[in-house]
Amino acid sequence: MKPGKPLAFGRIENASFIGLPGNPVSVFVTFCIFARPFLLRAQGVMDIAPRGFWVEAAFDWPRPDRRREYLRARRLAGDVATTRVEIYPHQGSGVLTSTVWGEGLIDVPAGTTIARGDRVFFMPFSELLA
Read off the pLDDT band of 28 (50, 70, 90). very high
DSSP letters along 94-114, please?
T-THHHHH-SEEEEE-TT--B
Report the pLDDT averaged over residues 71-100. Answer: 88
* Coil, strand or helix at 42: helix
- pLDDT (0 to 100) of residue 50: 84
Contact (CB, 8 A) for 61 and 88: no
- pLDDT (0 to 100) of residue 79: 60
The more confidently predicted of residues 78 and 60 is 60
- pLDDT (0 to 100) of residue 5: 87
Helix (H) / strand (E) containing 11 = strand 8-12
The one-letter amino acid at 38: F
* pLDDT tens-digit readout, 35-52: 999 999 999 999 998 899
Report the pLDDT averaged over residues 78-89. Answer: 81
Q: What domains appear along the chain, each with residue ranges and CATH number?
A: 8-42 (no CATH), 53-128 (2.40.340.10)
Would you say residue 80 has pLDDT above 80?
no
Report the pLDDT averaged over residues 102-117. Answer: 97
- pLDDT (0 to 100) of residue 82: 64
The average confidence (pLDDT) of the chain is 93
- pLDDT (0 to 100) of residue 94: 92
